[in-house]
Amino acid sequence: MQTTIGKSVELVGIGLHKGSPVRLRLEPLDAGSGIIFFRSDVNVTIKLKPENVVDTKMATVIGTEGYFISTIEHLLSAVYAYGIDNLRIIVDADEIPVMDGSSSSFCILLDEAGIVSQDRAKKVMRIKKEVSIKEGDKYVKLTPSSDLKYDFTIKFNHPVISKQQFEFNFSKESYKNEISRARTFGFLHEVQYLRSKGLALGGSLENAVVLDDKKVLNPEGLRFSDEFVRHKILDAIGDMSLIGLNFIGHYEALAGSHDLNHKLTLELLSSSENYEVVELSRAKEKEMLKAYA
């Protein structure tokens, strides 16, 4: 069945770009409502759908009527992993708080709220045909599969990162243990440039892994030896939530990005031949029921 949260919950954190406090509140919604964002500071509602994506350069940003909400992917990654269908996300600023740069704080918030079943059948999207976006040697693609898997490869000309590959077989518990704690990362020269442009003012070693030319600058080091590619999977899970449903299929990426993920969701939804929508209450496949129970 469809799900929402059991009670309203909220937290306050720092916005990555402006460095100002942001209040985030999650509220239950009725079955069939979907995921809806609301900016309480300007009284504007923004529905979660690919057409509302307005920027993908450094984060996934949705907007309408000239108003936007930035850096939605970490929160959505947790919401998607928890299989939540209906939710109202309220912020009093133009970005989601960055917390520690991962999605673990949002998992804790969702655990506090609790997940409740509703009186309508849950629907998921089954990938029927290969769908891909390729730009140079970078690509993202979806292929049919009986379960949900993310396979991501990154390559950086940096001694700490180099080439990393991680294959993640989805389950909620595996997500919490293997993916949710992986933090966003960036390079010191990029941070300095962004700050010169009035961006990343809230960025620090408290909410990102920062590297200079040779090493990780965070005194505590990494949470995983391959934390970088795990965070890319965290991002991809959040970005793919823009299709509006959990999906069954195999996601694969080489040097994927928010922009490529966005283009992939548009390409997927461009033809009904690419997918079918299945009610879980009628599904026979054990994998589907296990993944999204």
pLDDT at res. 284 = 59
Q: Measured between alpha carbons, how far is 290 from 293 in angstroms, rounded to an integer?
A: 6
Q: Are residues 110 and 194 in the same domain?
A: no
CATH assignment at residue 103: 3.30.230.20
Q: Measured between alpha carbons, how far is 230 from 202 in angstroms, rounded to an integer?
A: 23
**pLDDT, average across residues 163-168:** 98
Q: Are residues 281 and 144 in the same domain?
A: yes
Mean pLDDT of the chain: 93
Asked whether the predicted pLDDT for residue 200 surpasses 90, the reply is no
**pLDDT, average across residues 18-41:** 96
DSSP run (H or E) holding 162: none
Q: Are residues 91 and 133 in the same domain?
A: no
Q: Are residues 282 and 236 in the same domain?
A: yes
Q: Are residues 140 and 241 in the same domain?
A: yes
Would you name the residues annotated as active-site residues? 258
Q: Are residues 14 and 112 in the same domain?
A: yes
pLDDT at res. 196 = 81
CATH assignment at residue 146: 3.30.1700.10
Listed residues 91, 117, 143: the one ending a domain: 117
Q: Are residues 108 and 232 in the same domain?
A: no
Contact 73, 233 (CB under 8 A): no
* Confidence bin at 160 (pLDDT 50/70/90): very high
Number of domains in the chain: 2
Listed residues 78, 97, 117: the one ending a domain: 117
Q: Measured between alpha carbons, how far is 184 from 209 in angstroms, rounded to an integer?
A: 6
Q: Are residues 30 and 161 in the same domain?
A: no
Contact 254, 141 (CB under 8 A): no
Please provide the distance, in angstroms rounded to a whole number, between the alpha carbons at the two ends of the chain: 8
Q: What residues make up the domain containing 244?
A: 123-292
pLDDT at res. 249 = 97
Q: Are residues 251 and 128 in the same domain?
A: yes
Q: Are residues 214 and 238 in the same domain?
A: yes
Q: Are residues 196 and 273 in the same domain?
A: yes
The pLDDT tens digits for 215-234 are 999 999 999 999 999 999 99
Listed residues 117, 151, 178: the one ending a domain: 117
The pLDDT tens digits for 110-150 are 999 999 999 999 999 999 999 999 999 999 999 999 999 99
Q: Are residues 82 and 221 in the same domain?
A: no
